[in-house]
Amino acid sequence: MIRFARQHIGTLRRAFTRAVLLAGLAALLVAATPGVSHAGSKTLIRSLQNLIFFPIDFALSPFVGGKAIWEKWRDSDDTTAVKYGYAPFAPIWGISVQAGASVLRGVGGCLELLPGLVLLPFDAEMEPLYDLPESQPALVDQEAGPVKIKFGVDYLSDAE
């Protein structure tokens, strides 16, 4: 009987220790949050937009990257030898940059989601962690109230 009680006390002690450590970690994270990381509805909307549209950006990477490379190749003032020397490697680079930037859009959406949810009641906003989808041209760029439908973002072109 005593051994049985000691066994359960040890289990309860470990659970209590874990709960105290978790609460301490949560308090530390809340206390260490910088003042500029407050978020409101705009941050949450931007986060959800990035999470929803980054897979479409990723899927369109070959098309958008190829189109951007073609336009840059066609409009460049390089010599013919440089243009044709650049041509075999440019699509690989362009499509890779497009795909990587679309994945970063998804990561930025994940990182902005928690501040957007937790700090939603406060009337403060957070600067975008990844603002390229906001400033770059896109195949589809429409606004529907507070939501901006923007995908097929051209990460290789100059900002608008």
pLDDT tens digits along 85-123: 888 899 999 999 999 999 999 999 999 888 888 777 777
DSSP 4: H
Separation of alpha carbons 30 and 135, rounded Å: 31
pLDDT score recorded for residue 17: 79
DSSP 18-76: HHHHHHHHHHHHHHT--GGG---HHHHHHHHHHHHHHHHHHHTHHHHHHHHHHHHHHH-
Q: How far apart are the first and last CA of the chain?
A: 75
Q: Which of 32, 53, 49 is nearest to 41 (CA)?
A: 49
pLDDT score recorded for residue 157: 85
pTM of the model: 0.68
Q: How confident is the model at residue 41 (pLDDT cuts 50, 70, 90)?
A: confident
pLDDT at 38 over 80: no
Q: Where are the domains of the chain?
A: 1-32, 36-153
Q: How confident is the model at residue 39 (pLDDT cuts 50, 70, 90)?
A: very low
Residues in the chain: 160
